[in-house]
Amino acid sequence: MRTTVETERLQIHPGRPGTLDIDVVNTSDVIDGLSATVDGLDPAFVRVTPPVVTLFPDSVGRLTVTLDIPKTYPAGDSFLNVRVNSTVDARVQTENAVWITVDPVEAAEISLRPSLVVAGSEARFGVIITNTGNVTTDFAFEAVEPTRAIECRVIPPTTSVPPGQSRAVYVFARGKRPWFSQVVARTIRIEAKAPTVTLEETARFNQKPRIPRGVLTALILASIIALWALIFLFVISYLRNSGAPQKAVPATWNAGGIKEVPLASVVGTISGKVTASTTKAGIARITVEAYRVKTGVDGTQSTTLSASGATGDDGTYTLGALLPGKYQFRFSSDGYDAVWYTLPADPSKPADPTKAIDPTKPAVVTIDPLATVAGINGVLVGHAGTLSGKVAAPPGAPNAAAPTVTVTLVPSDPTAAAPAPIPATVNPDGTFSAPGLPTPATYSVNVARPGFDTQTFQVTLDGGQSPVIDTAQLAASSGSISGTVTDPSGAALGNATVTLNGGTTKQVSTTPTTGNVGHFQIDNLPTPATYVLTFTRDGSSSSTIALDLAGGEKKTGLVAVLVGGAGTVRGTATDSSGTPLGGVAVTASLGSFTATTTTLTTGTGNGGVGSYTIANLVVPGTYNVSFSLAGYSTETISVTFGAAGQQAGDAVMMPISSNVSGTVRLAGVGQAGVTMTLTDGTGTSTNGGATAATTPGSTPVVASGGTTLRTTQTAASPPGAFLFDSVPPGYYTLTASGPGINTQVTLIVVTAGQASISNIAVTAP
């Protein structure tokens, strides 16, 4: 067995297959099967096509070794030993040293732990950076809160991450917390930068106020109650210390002494519900304020805040301990337009356009002692909200089509029809924004990209909220490949093996022999990706098809043609004199199929120098077999196979250049020492600057004017003989000069592969 590896150094980019071709020659006397293995690499990364090549004695075949190097494979140079083994005799094997250079790839993933912190003035976030590439990568971190209300620091600001490992840094956020208000949501953008990788993640810091709204409301309510209690005590004390009343009362009316008057015996209560204009559902944590209306002696009215409260989770509320009197009620909260309670229209009476209710004019509600007034309701309109975010490009698909993002309001009534979706504005970098959304409401966000699985998720917006949605990374839909295996006549072939390879994906199936004969279908294929399908069947030549599957593509109608048996072409390359030529490159081609070998340089007989064999040719078909060798013109012959078998393919190769020779005679006698000059007339050397004549003394001379000459001297034995070898085809002048003769100039034509003999007769002066 003799093997030749196409290259001794192979450069591979991780994640992309690299191929290594091995030409093998069966030098034994029996039919042998040859296979290849690779030492120094995980077998899961190696594919050999075909797994075994069967060769007749002295025949030539090829094994293709495909290396599927994963992205995490370390970058740099490594040594592999490629062994070709005989399946007949395990002792027969060859070893070939191959160096592979794996390109460096920077890749990483970022995550937060936690991504949301609810605290006061300070928060801490853990940032986990994982190196998914194959080289150690240095990352620099930056954390920014857009409003600059929060100071952010990253400790440490830089870190180095080896391949396959993770490192943690910490983001510390610090800022003044509000005294009174609701929770303030802060968005912190965290960025990790490497020379070729930039990663982003968003952290959320919800700052709690020092005094929550509920506590503040309770304090105000308690203060109001205490104030009215003091007022009542003062009035009672004043009445007791005043003069005797004009009206007589029994002397025993106050026999029991001074008595406390409980507020519960005089105060009233109101209740109601605050709903959203969009969803008609109750809104939680809405401030409800009761303003007491006072009328002055001049008839003018003024209002004073008397009590306040907040709505519950269902939007309802109750305000107790309201002293009898007239009140106006106000509903407010961050993110909503404040409104006053107005009298609802009376459904029992026809509408009067001249007496339409003014929503900006507060209604006055009278609270009688111990009265309970219900139905003090309000409807709030939220400030417009915005949904924004970024859709990242899926791995493996950098040129994927732009995504489409739509936002649809989710009706509060499940039976109601959904409104028309609102298209979001999508920028070239994948960022999107949908402004001007009515709030409060729940929205369904739909992210779609051709060939990828559609993502749908819901986001709830409170009044005036504008959250940034976490980055959505689309995953491509799975693809499939289906087709039929046939013979050259189109008849379906059962029991054919279909092998699919694509990176880490490998599937094998067999075409059925009954029912849908010859059909195959391979589903659930990751996309986008490139796949290689190999079709084999006992008694038939194999067929290989490589194809690309776009995101979610389902390729159908693939036809693989298998031809029974295989063809072999054998022959010899010789020169015009019949001498075998070794080292001739021989290529057999038919359409996109090519097979290449080289004629042998040693040996004798039919399998000796100049012989070659190309086996495993798909038949039937007519192949163009070309022969090329430096110094000879390329020859091409046609070899036709009607069926499996062996065909002869001999070639005669003609040299590109020729020899110019002859004899110089004076009166019929050969003349030694005559100077012979060959001029090509082009101004360039006819032998590439090297001495071409084999006759002693042959030297290239550059003539004036730029013309290059070749000169030699006629030989003494045989007398007058001269030779110029390796002369390219063309027109030349041959000049004979020297002492004792007249200069003789002869025009000659040199034809490729044909010796030119120019016998020159000279005369004496």
Residue 178's H or E segment, with its range, is none
29 or 674, which is more confident: 674
pLDDT at residue 79 in the model: 80
**What's the first-to-final CA gap in the chain, in angstroms?**
70
Structure tokens at 170: 């910490």
Beta-carbon contacts of residue 723 (< 8 Å; ≥ 6 apart): 659, 660, 661, 693, 694, 695, 712
Q: What's the confidence (pLDDT) of residue 337?
A: 87
Looking at 14-18, 112-116, 473-477, which range is the least confident one? 473-477
Which pLDDT score is estimated for 396?
54
User: In this predicted model, what pLDDT tens digit does every residue of 58-112 receive, in sequence order?
Assistant: 888 888 989 888 888 888 888 888 889 888 887 888 888 888 888 888 889 999 9
pLDDT one-digit tens code per residue, 398-430? 556 678 889 998 887 777 777 888 888 888 777
Does residue 91 lie within any of the structural domains?
yes
The whole domain housing 230 covers 212-234+264-345+358-380
Q: Does some domain include residue 185?
A: yes
Tell whether the model's pLDDT for residue 696 goes beyond 60: no
Any domain includes 239: no
pLDDT at 347 (0 to 100): 53
The reply to whether 283 and 374 lie within a common domain is yes
Least confident of 325-329, 375-379, 486-490: 486-490
Q: What percent of the chain has pLDDT over 90?
A: 20
User: Of 545, 561, 577, which residue sits at a domain end?
Assistant: 561
691, 700 contact by CB (below 8 A):
yes
What is the residue-wise DSSP string for 357-410? --TTSPPPEEE-TT-EE----EEE-BPPEEEEEEEEPPTT-TTPPPPEEEEEE-
Do 682 and 738 sit in the same domain of this protein? yes
| Residue 204 falls inside a structural domain | yes
Same domain, 546 and 637: no
Residue 244 counted as domain residue: no
**Amino acid letter for position 531:** Y
Are 642 and 602 in a shared domain? Answer: yes
pLDDT tens digits, 565-597: 778 899 999 987 888 999 999 999 988 888 899
Please name the residues in contact with 253: beta carbons below 8 A apart, sequence gap of 6 or more. none
Structure confidence at residue 214 as a pLDDT band (50, 70, 90): low
Statement: residue 262 has pLDDT above 80: no
Cβ neighbours around 90 below 10 Å, total:
8
Q: Is the domain of 142 the same as that of 82?
A: no
Is 681 among the domain residues?
yes
Q: Are residue 640 and residue 527 in the same domain, yes or no?
A: no
| Paired sense of beta strands 760-762 and 658-666, if any | parallel
Closest alpha carbon to 134 in 200, 80, 192, 78: 78
Determine the Cα–Cα distance for residues 568 and 57; give it in Å rounded to an integer.
12
* 763/663 Cα distance (integer angstroms): 14
State percent of the chain over pLDDT 70. 87
Does 216 map to a domain? yes
Question: Looking at residues 5-27, what average pLDDT do you find?
Answer: 86
- Whether the CB-CB separation of 622 and 647 falls below 8 Å is answered with no
Last residue of a domain, one of 72, 102, 132: 102
Element (H, E) at 240: helix 213-241
Q: Mean per-residue pLDDT for 551-561?
A: 86
Q: Is the pLDDT of residue 309 over 60?
A: yes
pLDDT tens-place string over residues 591-601: 888 889 999 98
Q: Quick one: 495 and 441 in the same domain?
A: no
Q: What is the mean pLDDT of residues 518-525?
A: 90
CATH, residue 368: 2.60.40.10
Compute the average pLDDT of residues 197-205.
90
| pLDDT for the residue 572 | 93
Residue 56, pLDDT > 50, answer yes
Q: How far from 321 is each of 222, 295, 342, 649, CA to CA, in Å?
A: 10, 21, 22, 113
Q: What pLDDT score does 700 carry? A: 38
pLDDT recorded at residue 721: 94
Q: Could you say which DSSP state residue 229 is in? A: H
Q: 270-305 burial, b for 16+ CB within 10 Å, e for fewer?
A: bbbbbbbbbbebbbbbbbbbbbbbeeeeeeeeebee
pLDDT tens digits along 599-647: 998 887 777 899 999 987 877 788 999 999 988 888 999 998 877 778 8
Q: Does residue 602 sit within a domain?
A: yes
115 and 92 part of one domain: no
Residue type, 258: I
Q: The CATH number of the domain where 451 resides is what?
A: 2.60.40.1120
Statement to judge: residues 664 and 758 lie in one domain: yes
336 and 219 fall within a common domain: yes
pLDDT, averaged across the chain:
82
Distance CA 314, CA 317 (A): 9
Supply the pTM of this predicted model.
0.36
363 and 222: one domain?
A: yes
Q: Say yes or no: 132 and 203 in one domain.
A: yes
Asked if the model's pLDDT at residue 255 lies above 90, the reply is no
Last residue of a domain, one of 452, 473, 494: 473
The total domain count for the chain is 7
Q: What is the mean pLDDT of residues 317-323?
A: 84
